[in-house]
Amino acid sequence: MKLELNDFQNLLPVPLTVITTIDTDEIPNAAPYGCVMSVLKSLDIIALASAIPRDTLQNIRETREFVINVMGEPSLQKTMQCAKDYASEVNELEETDLSTIRSNLVKPLKERESD
């Protein structure tokens, strides 16, 4: 079977997670990820696949902190808007009007709280 461009979207699940990070200058970042999975539940180890280069991956490597946000279908359009090629100093959460809640354990999005 030959697929036309973008036909894969009808066959594969759409990314329903957004990984949020903060860079070393405290600038928030958000990007959709479709390949996030638990590796060793007993050790709380997860794996994610990332296209390189990505600000999100760089932030994770530099700060070693991130949040995986599981998105529902109502947020799908905003989730996918985070995938645009924004400059690294742009806060995708503000651009897409996604809200967050405070993180108590890790730095990403600790200072931005949803209404």
The per-residue pLDDT for range 22-37, each reduced to its tens digit, is: 999 988 899 888 888 8
In a domain, 63, yes or no: yes
Distance, in Å, from the CA atom of 83 to the CA atom of 55, rounded to the nearest integer, reads 11
In a domain, 104, yes or no: no
Count up the domains in the chain and report the number.
1
Domain interval for residue 57: 15-96
pTM score of the predicted model:
0.72
Spell out the residues 6+ positions from residue 64 whose beta carbon is closer than 8 angstroms to its own. Answer: none
In a domain, 107, yes or no: no
In a domain, 52, yes or no: yes
CATH assignment of the domain containing 69: 2.30.110.10
In a domain, 61, yes or no: yes
Question: For all residues of the chain together, what is the average pLDDT?
Answer: 80
In a domain, 39, yes or no: yes
In a domain, 54, yes or no: yes
Of residues 13 and 26, more confidently modeled: 26
Distance, in Å, from the CA atom of 80 to the CA atom of 96, rounded to the nearest integer, reads 9
Compute the average pLDDT of residues 72-80.
79
pLDDT score for 14: 59
